Chain A
Amino acid sequence: MALLELQDVFATYGSRRALHGVSMNVEEGSIVALLGANGAGKTTTLRAITGLVKVQGAIRFDGQRITGVATEEIARLGIAHVPEGRGTMSQLSVLENLQMGACLRHDPKAVRQDLDRVYAYFPWMKSRLAQPAALLSGGEQQMLAIARAAMMRPRLLLLDEPSLGLAPIVVKGIFKIIEAINSEQGVTIVLVEQNARIALKTAGSAYVLEVGVVAVSGLARELAQDESVRESYLGY
């Protein structure tokens, strides 16, 4: 059984229909890329999963229907979502941002271990814990957002365009950490990306959205090798 299952999901943003029956399956332990042009519905799909937009259809997490459930309760089930714009708690310090990720956990020892793991992923963080998050660069804020999500010890991590606006070398570093979170901690990941090339390299399988429906899906490796898919949907 898939860890996350979307079945014929419709969503509206104001008066505009953003999703027209999206179905997808995310297997436990996998990295799934969600690709497509601007406005294809990638962000809306993630927001639908964590209840930030109203949806029709069925979304199941670990077999449990989560459609219509409040965002905070969905988070408590083990879904972490790094939203568009990173959701940085900019007036809180770097450490407080990390603590917020772990705020519902009751295993202080494991939380401390996870903090050490985060510092190992992002060594710069340790010396800047007291700084307000607002003073971080865009790339650092993205890393902090991922670290905060990792501090939740989620089963499923939703990442919305982690590469957006960042220099290629920073993007490379971030994707390495994303892979590590998946392989070392067994966290299942859904990755929304504009940068199809790096996303397909990282993910095991991928879905390509076009105006609110799934246009193509399959193994990431095969999609990356398919000329016609690359030309018509991925633009590289």
Chain B
Amino acid sequence: MGTEVFLSANPVEGLEQQLVFGIATGSIYASLALALVLIYRAMEAINFAQGEMATFSTFIAWTLMATFHMSFWIAFPLVVVLSFVGGVALERVVIRPVERAPILTTILVTLGLFSIFNGLSGLIWGYTIRTFPSPFPVTPISLGGVGIGFQDLGLIGVSLVLLFLIYLFFSRTKLGLMMRAASLYPQSSRLVGVRVGWMLALGWGLSAAVGAVSGMMVAPVLSLDPSLMQSVLLFAFTAAVLGGIENPLGAVIGGIVVGVLLALVGTYIPHAEDLRLVFGFIVIVLVLLFRPAGLIGRAHVTRV
């Protein structure tokens, strides 16, 4: 799987080096985890198609660059916007009919979307592995004896910027407040005139856009094929659960913790490469058993 390629492509050296790699891979998980959290906050369900949607967006970016010769920094915002529109449309067309159905129905629909997007990517772009240009220079810089690639710094930076933007959006804007209220208190929100259905669609749009960013960040590292985001999705899910599934900050911290743990496990436990997926599941089970609200998820405030 691609993730291993990424890890072993970097020379294994001291602990500091491992931490840097861990944080960088963790940032990839963090960005997709952010997308998962956005959907979860809007409809209290995991979107299993999140990774495949991101892969699809990434292929569109690849086409824009390879076929239409756009530069990365033109294709990037264009694909983010397209993904946002696509996410909104997807919610209106596919999720809206099951809006009032039990949550299990919604989850099954997202599983269906997983297959559809995976199949579409394969059908349109095929299964050969393609290289995806990196937006960052490849030359590493040295910080206190630790070699850090611009690629790593870029991944970390993009995740932090995404987190900051999402934080600003939900805490400082009226629309963000309306989205939070609509998901937590749909009836009260309707009574003040909020079109709750559109807020959910907006949540899908945002999350598809964030997923697209994640895909375009991962693709240069893992190289692009229809299964690009599959292992990433599992670790992103681990990260989201670890951080408290409703908490954007938790998702990013969770992503980095998972990235670092995986890097350490990969270095210090022999043959652990094969156990990475198992490791992800173990973390999920442990968190759900002992701290269902996540490491920094907060219990809901109530007055009795």
Contacts and interface: CB of A to CB of B under 8 A. Distances in A.
Interaction A to B: yes
B74 interface: no
Interface stretch (B189-197, B267-275, B289-297): B189-197
Contacts of A99: 174, 177
Contacts of B303: 134-137
A81 B302 contact: no
Q: Using C-beta atoms within 8 Å of the partner chain, give the interface range for chain B.
A: 20 to 34
B177 A91 contact: no
Contact of A71 (B180, B181, B184, B190): B190
Interface string B189-233: 111111110000000000000000000000000000000000000
B176 to A, nearest CB: 10
B65 interface: no
A140 B87 CA distance: 40
Contacts of A137: 303
A13 B129 CA distance: 58
B182 to A, nearest CB: 10
A75 B192 contact: yes
Interface in A36-52: 50, 52
Contact of B181 (A70, A92, A152): A92
Contacts, number: 76
Contacts of B181: 89, 92, 96, 100, 103
Nearest to B189: A100
B192 A100 contact: yes
Contacts of B192: 75, 80, 100-101, 103-104, 148, 152
B187 A83 contact: yes
Name the residue in B180, B190, B193, B301 with the highest tally of chain A Cβ atoms < 10 Å from its Cβ.
B193
B185 A72 contact: no
B178 interface: yes
Nearest to B194: A72
Interface string A131-163: 010111100000000001000100000000000
29 contacts: A52-B187, A71-B187, A72-B189, A72-B193, A72-B194, A73-B193, A75-B191, A76-B193, A80-B192, A89-B181, A89-B184, A90-B302, A91-B184, A91-B301, A92-B181, A92-B184, A96-B181, A99-B174, A100-B178, A100-B192, A103-B177, A103-B178, A103-B192, A103-B193, A103-B194, A134-B300, A134-B301, A135-B301, A148-B192
Interface of B: 174, 177-178, 180-181, 184-185, 187-196, 300-303
